Structure 1
Amino acid sequence: MEETICKAIKERKIIKFYYKGYLRIVEPYAYGVHKSTYNKILRAFQIAGGSSSGEVVDWKLFVVDEISLLTITNEQFSVRPEYTLNDSAMGQIICQVLLG
């Protein structure tokens, strides 16, 4: 799954997956290791689908081990102006959207 996530990040492609019982449609921005739990995580901006919190459209962190049926769409996304490099939740970044 790591290869697929990094490919989507590099190509700025929207991805779809299931997480905690809901289909999520997201723009993936950074993939790495959480600085305190050491879980592999994905920082993404969810644009559609469902959410247990009720907050569908928002920045979210997803634990990669809890993601299933991930697919890359053909849709590209533009980098959101509020995105910043080097996600502070990550102790190690494996891949991330680069600016410029």
Structure 2
Amino acid sequence: MSSIIEQAIAAKRKLKLYYIGYSRTVEPYAYGLCPDGLPLLLCFQTEVQGSVRTPNNWYLVRPHEQVMIKMLEDSFTRFQPGYIRNHPAFHTVLIQV
């Protein structure tokens, strides 16, 4: 799963995150480890089905809790407002745009 996330960030391609009963289309911006050592993904939501958007559309995801992650053909070229490189939620950043 981490290789799909890393490939999507490197290629600036959107991901589809599938949960039980709903899905989110996101632009992945950073992937790494949170302070407790678990994987963490910083992404911007572009589409949500069956759920409420976060207030500013930025979303921190623990990918190990996802049912499925799929890389899409769609790409993104501009940075969304509010993007923070080396986000403080990460203990270690493995890859970021």
Relative to the length of structure 2, the TM-score reads: 0.86
SS where residue 67 of structure 2 aligns? strand
Report % sequence identity. Answer: 33
The amino acid of 1:89's aligned partner reads A
Unaligned runs of 5+ in 2: none
- Displacement of 1:59: 0.2
Task: Give the 5 Å matches for 1:45-64.
Answer: 45-50=44-49, 52=51, 54-55=52-53, 58-64=57-63
* Superposition RMSD in Å: 1.8
Distance change >3 Å, CA 75–CA 21, structure 1 → 2: same
Offset of 1:23 from its aligned partner? 0.6
Are the structure 2 counterparts of residues 40 and 51 from structure 1 closer, same or farther at C-alpha, using a change threshold of 3 Å? farther
Tell me if 1:70 matches 2:50: no
1 CA distance for matches of 2:50 and 2:61?
Answer: 12
In structure 2, the partner of 1:22 is: 22
Kindly indicate which of the two structures has a greater share of residues assigned to strand: 1
Which ranges of structure 1 fall in alignment gaps of 5 or more residues? none
**Deviation >4 Å, runs of 4+:** none
